[in-house]
Chain A
């Protein structure tokens, strides 16, 4: 609840520019997908968004360091970040929901089991299995084989879990003002993030080159890539954010009490971690 006077920024040009940049990126993407041209527009959009974000956050940081923010502002940021992460959770929920639906209903029905098993009349040769190596229509080639969870995926799981721990150590260190420890452990976290991304890249290469797991490989490929793909994008973003935090730590930003920017990055990273655990279980193991 209100205490003192709340800082209301004067007018700002970043939001409008941001929406124009986002618009440019979307239009560019559309043109690229539909007419196979327009890459420059996508790039302009992406660069614009990044630039706007940088400048916008620069304002926020300088306001914060200028002592314009009070506890109430801090709470606003906390609520904001918390609900943003909730919206991300729901975004992934849609993809997990699709995976569960397909595995529990659609594929068994197509294979002749359950309430709508008559559908199998249309697909006489189809056998319901998961992972789905042979999609109902033989013109769609399924994956040749799928990944064993106990190799690269397990390594990645360990990496991400470790990275959550190292990040927590860094955070605790920041709280007690031990900036050097914080810096070292945060550096470790960023490196772990990079490792994860690289390993995921190797896995994608393997998927296309040797496993026949592609976007076109029926519903297995589709759910596999949409879940791991969006997760991967989130890891990349999270790593970038943590890298930015590292730069700020090195520059001497943040106090023992006042470091919500850092804390928000931690929340985000833990969220990405939790999603991975879900992925590991439902996409790879089960």
Chain B
């Protein structure tokens, strides 16, 4: 199955003077676990984020497998509906806040300083704080499952009043855990913005930055703008639950729909937070393996900015059927449809970058190409959902579940994996085992489509989401999805194996690990020494 391996550049020793760890005396770092607990180094913190994220991906994945196992056939077999709802909820929460967001933050920590020629993040101690809040938050979140009455069971969107007047007692802990995660995200984003705006190598203008840096700059802005709104809305929940306020209760003059407005004002930008850095990664990988500069650098930047700005104006497309006034409905339909335009620009740019390139198919490239195709399919179903009248039929069905898994799994997750395969040589000094990676790719692509494609049909045929049992006509689709889910889940073991093997050894990688790679990170040796760019490199403008 794995095709013949394409040529890789010969091993060479870096001639870059800057990147040599011993330049000036660093106090010896603490040993053992304390090294990790106390570190202020962006590379170590980056690794911590990535490991944390992988752990959460597995935990969230296991919850998804519980869901899929129960849905394998009609009837209630394995779990009670109550527990099923907790699994669905926790799966969504863990994947979104525990797997995807920390993975991107981890990549940002590792790569942004390297890509802009900075010695570290702007605020290194704060960086450590942002990370160590996460284990605290998620331990608390996961522990709610063991509390009396069970964990959160109201969906990752926790609509009031189900999550206020009708929720288990652990909801208070869920809110507090989310607060901690939110603080972590905000501080992390502040750090990233400060780094990008302030720490670039002399001579590097904003319009010279690699796209991964650009997309993260914009993502960080989104995070700082919307995480506080999430904090606000969960605080209102906390008050409704514990202090008798009536924000979301009509009896006192509030409105349950107010909750949804506030939630989705956060929630929609949140989904772009989970995709913009992915765009950045793909925009780095495709030119590298097409050996051709990225097409339309400037329009990529503008498109990203446009998506981010539009994302503040579309939130109510998740609420087409809550009974919005007609004008609101129309406004949100039009604004949502508009997002297809800048996103289309990106897709067209990627395809044009490939056009007349010199393309090879190493594992990062395979994942990136799969990203382009499958993300676009997810985008198309998103566009269908944006048509408000049709959303009256799609809403809260498996069609929506299919849509967002297409943009999240072969979207965000594939881009993360592409990035990991792409940068592993820089991190470890070894190439990942290419054969293993190729197997991982092909298994994943089959698994992912087998899992999520049938969900389109189940949804159109009328299967609502968040149900533990279903009518008989949906049985075939669910059977396929469940088989696919286990297959896809099992293939991820290959990924872990590949990463572990790569950390422990493998073919040595030169500083510039990929023939067509251009950005600054490829000028420092592989593995990148603990301290890089302690004296700023001089940035030479290349083509764009």
Q: Is A221 interfacial (CB 8 A cutoff)?
A: yes
Q: Are A2 and B228 in contact, CB atoms less than 8 angstroms apart? A: no
Q: How many residues of A contact B (CB 8 A)?
A: 76
* Size of B's binding interface in residues, CB under 8 A: 91
Q: Does A30 contact B (CB under 8 A)?
A: yes
CA distance A19 to B129 in the complex (A): 7
Residue in A closest to B132 when the chains form the complex, CB atoms: A19
Does A282 have its Cβ within 8 Å of any Cβ on chain B? Answer: no
Q: A116 contacts which chain B residues (CB < 8 A)?
A: 323, 325
B7 at the interface (CB under 8 A from A): no
- A43 is an interface residue with CB less than 8 A from chain B: no
C-alpha spacing A185/B190, complex, angstroms: 32
* B179 interface residue per 8 A CB criterion: yes
Determine if B128 and A15 form an interchain contact, defined as CB atoms under 8 angstroms apart.
Answer: yes
A251 close to B (CB within 8 Å): no
Is B229 positioned at the interface, with any CB of A under 8 Å from its CB? yes
Q: Is the CB of A8 within 8 A of B124?
A: yes
Determine if B335 is an interface residue (Cβ-Cβ < 8 Å). Answer: no
Interface residues of A in 220-261 (CB under 8 A from B): 220-223, 225-226
- How would you classify the secondary structure of chain A's contact residues: helix, strand, loop or mixed? helix
Q: Which residue of chain A has the shortest Cβ distance to B245 in the bound complex?
A: A222
For residue A132, CB closer than 8 A to chain B, the reply is yes
Residue B194 at the chain A interface, CB threshold 8 Å: yes
Shortest CB-to-CB span from B225 to chain A, Å, is: 5
Cα distance, A7 to B243, chains bound together (Å): 46
Say whether A88 contacts B228, CB under 8 Å.
Answer: yes
Contact A29:B122 (CB < 8 A) given known A5-B535, A9-B40, A90-B228: no
Smallest CB-CB separation from A222: which chain B residue? B245
B199 near A91 (CB under 8 angstroms)? no
The answer to whether B35 touches A11, judged by C-beta atoms less than 8 angstroms apart, is yes
**List of B residues within 8 angstroms of A140 by Cβ:** 246, 251-252
Q: Mark B233-273, 1 if CB is under 8 A from A, else 0.
A: 10110110011111100111111011001100100000000
Q: Which of B122, B200, B203, B258 contacts A106 (CB 8 A)?
A: B258
Q: Give A217 to B251 CA distance when docked, in angstroms.
A: 11
| B193 interfacial contact with A, CB 8 Å | yes
Would you call A286 an interface residue if the criterion is a C-beta within 8 Å of the partner chain's C-beta atoms? no
A23 touching B200 in the complex, CB below 8 Å, given contacts A8-B40, A87-B228, A222-B239:
no
Question: Which segment of B25-33, B389-397, B439-447 sits at the interface?
Answer: B25-33
| Alpha-carbon gap, A20 to B132, bound state (A) | 8
Are B253's CB and A12's CB within 8 A?
no
User: Of the 9-residue stretches A72-80, A189-197, A205-213, A272-280, which lies at the interface with chain B?
Assistant: A72-80
Q: Chain A residues near B13: list those with CB within 8 A.
A: none
Q: Which of A96-104, A148-156, A162-170, A175-183 contacts B (4 or more CB under 8 A)?
A: A96-104
Task: Assess the A98–B536 pair: CB atoms within 8 A.
Answer: no
Q: A72-B199, A87-B227 are in contact. Are A26 and B254 (CB under 8 A)?
A: no
**Contact pick for A12, options B38, B120, B183, B261, CB 8 Å:** B38
Contact with B along A1-44 (1 / 0, CB 8 A): 11101101111111110111011001101100110000000000
| Residue B313 at the chain A interface, CB threshold 8 Å | no
Interface contact A101-B232, CB-CB below 8 Å? no
Shortest Cβ gap from B47 to chain A (Å):
15
Q: Are A98 and B258 in contact (CB under 8 A)?
A: yes
Is A79's CB under 8 angstroms from B228's CB? Answer: no
Contact B133 A22 (CB under 8 A): yes
Report B-chain residues with C-beta under 8 Å of the C-beta of A10. 26-27, 29, 40
Q: Which residues of A contact B29 (CB under 8 A)?
A: 10-11
What is the CA–CA distance of A92 and B250 in the complex, to the nearest angstrom?
A: 23
**Neighbouring B residues of A115 by C-beta, 8 Å:** 325-326
- Given the known interface contacts A12-B38, A94-B229, A215-B239, the answer about A102 and B253 at a Cβ–Cβ threshold of 8 Å is yes
CB distance from B25 to the nearest CB of A (A): 11
| Cβ A79 vs Cβ B243 within 8 A | no
Tell me which residues across on chain A come within 8 A of B120, comparing CB atoms: 6, 8
Question: Are B236 and A226 in contact, with the CB atoms below 8 A?
Answer: yes
Is B136 among interface residues, defined by CB-CB distance under 8 A? yes
A90 to B225 Cα, complex, angstroms = 6
Interface pairs (10), CB distance under 8 Å: A11-B39, A22-B180, A79-B198, A89-B228, A94-B231, A106-B255, A114-B325, A215-B245, A217-B252, A218-B252
Binding site for A on B (CB under 8 A): 24, 26-27, 29-30, 34-35, 37-41, 117-120, 122-126, 128-129, 132-133, 136-137, 139-140, 169-170, 172-173, 176-177, 179-180, 183, 186, 189-191, 193-195, 197-204, 224-229, 231-233, 235-236, 238-239, 242-247, 250-255, 257-258, 261-262, 265, 323, 325-326, 531, 533-536
Seed contacts A5-B119, A109-B255, A116-B323; 15 additional CB < 8 Å A-B pairs? A1-B199, A2-B199, A2-B202, A11-B29, A13-B37, A16-B129, A20-B136, A22-B136, A33-B172, A34-B170, A80-B194, A89-B228, A97-B262, A97-B265, A136-B252
